[in-house]
Structure 1
C-alpha cells in the first residue's frame, strides 16, 4: 500500500522532501509550487532515480 504525503514548499525544505522520498511507491502531492519548480523537479528526479514514485504536479515537468 502506498503512502500519501502532502508537501507544502512554503514551509518545507528540499531536505525534508528527500526524507519523504525514502519510501518507494510513495505519492507526493505538490502544494504551492515554488518559483524554482524546474530546478526542484530536477533535484527530485536525480535523488529519486531508482525509486517508484508518483508525484502529482510533476508529471509534465
Structure 2
C-alpha cells in the first residue's frame, strides 16, 4: 500500500493518515484483478481527521478505484 498516494487521494496529510487505525479490503473483478480498495476507519479515529475525508459512509468506509 502506498501511503503517500492514499493520503493524497483522501485529502489528508501523510501524518494524519498514519495516526488513523484502518483496514483495507480489495475488491476484485470477475477475472481476479483488483479494481477497487475499500478502506474502513476505526470508529475511535479522530473526528477532525475523518471529517476531512469526503465520501466516507456511515461505517467510516470509503471505496476508491485502483
- For the criterion TM > 0.5, the same-fold answer is no
State the TM bucket, normalised to the shorter chain: under 0.3
- TM-score normalised by L of structure 1: 0.27
Q: Which has the higher contact order (CA 8 A, sep 6+)?
A: 1
The structure with more strand, counted as a fraction of residues: 2
